[in-house]
Structure 1
Amino acid sequence: MHNESILLAQKIYHILDNKKLDDIQVLDVHEITTLADIFIIVTGSNTRQTKALVDELEDALSEENIEVIQKEGYQTANWILMDYGNVIVHVLYKEDAEFYGLDRLWQDGKTILF
């Protein structure tokens, strides 16, 4: 895994953690997928909150000249995916997070604690 991926994931984690969220998971998935090095999974209590989290994260990283490569799902805001290259952020509405169970799907990933 690249050191750049860890540094970016740490920035993202701290931006999200400042929002006092209950559920932020950072997973090292580089040994089990070629999609990315790190997945960050965060849950919002409603779709308004998921959009607000995405907006704030995108703005904060943009101020550091870190731009999202691709963003999917923003219109419905049930599951918003933000692609930052080797770090992918999943922002899910609580009910969808429970339904899709990304934490179970990627349970072989190693939890990263910051």
Structure 2
Amino acid sequence: MLTPKEIALLAAKALDSKKGLDIKVLETGHLTTLADYFVLCSATSTTQIKALADVCEKELKDAGEPPHHVEGHRGGIWILLDFSSVVVHIFNEEAREFYDLERLWSDATPVDLSGVLTEN
């Protein structure tokens, strides 16, 4: 069984493997009971959003952590994968800018992803 931080980092790595954009991991456990971590990622198309969600779900399922709930597969502008202690948000760029979760959760602690994400 993985820790919430390990789940968040594995999700970030999976998203990076499919060229997810502007990947961020925010530690939110000290602010809310919703989740210990939020993982945020942007994509350039609905096809990429779905591919990112699929790879994230597969990698975590293979690690013994399947999502408890998935929202947004039909809409294609924002898919949410709920792993209980970790919530992964995959947006198109316009939706990410509009909802601006980074601003909403500005008191969250950013997690250092150096060594997790590949250099571009």
> Which of structure 1's runs of 4+ aligned residues deviate more than 3 A?
none
Measured in 1, the distance between the counterparts of 2:19 and 2:93 equals: 15
List gaps (5 residues or longer) in structure 1.
none
SS at match of 2:89: strand
Measure how far apart 1:66 and its partner are: 1.7
Measure how far apart 1:64 and its partner are: 2.1
SS at match of 2:70: strand
List gaps (5 residues or longer) in structure 2.
114-120
Percent identity of the aligned residues? 37
Aligned residues: 112
RMSD over aligned Cα atoms: 1.3
Measure how far apart 1:60 and its partner are: 1.8
Measured in 1, the distance between the counterparts of 2:103 and 2:6 equals: 25
Measure how far apart 1:20 and its partner are: 3.3
Partner of 1:5: 4
Partner of 2:60: 61
The C-alpha deviation readout for 1:74-97, integer Å capped at 9, x for no partner, is 101111110001000000111111
Using the TM superposition, name which of 23-32 and 56-65 deviates more: 56-65
The C-alpha deviation readout for 1:10-32, integer Å capped at 9, x for no partner, is 11111112233330010001111
